[in-house]
Amino acid sequence: MKQKFSIEGMSCDHCVMRVENAINELPGIQKVKIHLKRSNGVVKFDDTQVNSNQIAKKINDTGYEAKVV
């Protein structure tokens, strides 16, 4: 499954790296692409192992505000 997220609060490449690393800690993550200038990201994942809400929560727990788009 592929899901887009809006992500607020990122201001630099380090922020992008933090979000990508946090998402990659979850089971079933296949690909993560975060766009700093667009304040969003696309995550490809196995929806039998993780869901969109869990991914958004992981981003929020990292200190940024994520919403499923």
- Beta pairing, strands 2-8 & 65-68: antiparallel
- 4 band by pLDDT with thresholds 50, 70 and 90: very high
Burial class (CB in 10 A: 0-12, 13-18, 19+), 20: middle
- 20 band by pLDDT with thresholds 50, 70 and 90: very high
Give the pLDDT mean for 28-40.
Answer: 98
- 27 band by pLDDT with thresholds 50, 70 and 90: very high
Whole-model pTM: value is 0.96
Q: What CATH number has the domain bearing residue 46?
A: 3.30.70.100
At residue 67, the pLDDT reads 98
Q: Which domain, by its residues, includes 27? A: 2-68
- Number of independent structural domains in the chain: 1
